[in-house]
Amino acid sequence: MAAASELDLLAIAAHPDDVEQTCGGTLLKMAEAGYRTGVLDLTAADMGTRGSPELRLQEAGAAAKHLLLAWRGNLGMPDARLENTLAARMSVAAEIRRLRPRVVIAPYWEARHPDHYRAGEMAYEACFLAGLKKLDPASEPHRPFKIVYASLYANVTPSFVVDISAQFDRRMDALLSYQSQYGAGGEAGDVFPDPGEIRERLAAVARFYGNLIGVRYGEPFVAKETLEVEDVVALRVRSL
């Protein structure tokens, strides 16, 4: 994709297709609102049963167009062997200093796949490191104002839910750009659901979270800090 400049919102993920499942609707909604959005994938999913790293990167580029991303990059770290090392954190921190996002979306800190929770740890720690003036004299320090965690696959109460009713179908188009993973048939077809099944599953999850805020489809997020409310009278979700 085009060379990066400052972003408003950056999602950091372990693998191509992670953000399409967990926060793609939110990225698309924010892009439609005029914000510059981006995705930093840490690996090319080279250990995946289906496809190849080269193909996954091509598919990620196609998905980025559906999500209206201003930028997408990949650090090429080892898939299924992601380690939260100083060198890895420094690589992510360098990207954060270059992209200068105001808000970062990270994977929730508990997950079945070790890469996912390690990506969340790395994102948080890299955001901190990126703000240290003496980290790298050749670049300007930058620390994102806010880090939120995409919690769609975590069994936790979200801090907030984003209404993606108008974006859900296009989020699914972005996810299904990964034909190597979600195309019908192919190797390990008993493990990988076909496009109709994956759409039905994710629609059910999005309907659950949408129902929490009285809309059709939603994406959940967790914030570690207490969120401020400016206008109590304008709160949107009904109590009764």
- Alpha carbons within 13 angstroms on the beta-carbon side of residue 57 total 12
53 assigned to some structural domain: yes
Does residue 120 lie in a domain region?
Answer: yes
CATH number at residue 153: 3.40.50.10320
Residue 56 lies in a domain: yes
d(CA 65, CA 152) in angstroms, rounded, equals 23
Count other Cβ atoms within 10 Å, centred on residue 196: 10
Residue 86, in any domain of the structure = yes
Cβ atoms of residues 12 and 123 within 8 Å: yes
* Entry pTM: 0.93
Token readout for 208 is 């659950």
Q: Does residue 239 lie within any of the structural domains? A: no
The model's pLDDT over 113-142, given as tens digits with 9 standing for 90+, comes to 999 999 999 999 999 999 999 999 999 999
Q: Is residue 129 one of the residues assigned to a domain?
A: yes
How many domains, the chain?
1
Residue 137 in any domain: the answer is yes
What was the pLDDT predicted at 46? 80
Instruction: Find the mean pLDDT for residues 41-63.
Output: 88
* Domain annotation covers residue 2: no
Q: In Å, how far from its chain's centre is CA 125?
A: 17
Q: Which region, left, alpha or beta, applies to residue 55 given φ > 0 means left and ψ of -120 to 50 means alpha?
A: alpha
* pLDDT tens digit sequence for 129-186: 999 999 999 999 999 999 999 999 999 999 999 999 999 999 999 999 999 888 765 5
Structural domain for 158, as ranges: 9-234
Is residue 2's pLDDT more than 60? no
- Is the separation of the CB atoms in 64 and 36 below 8 Å? no
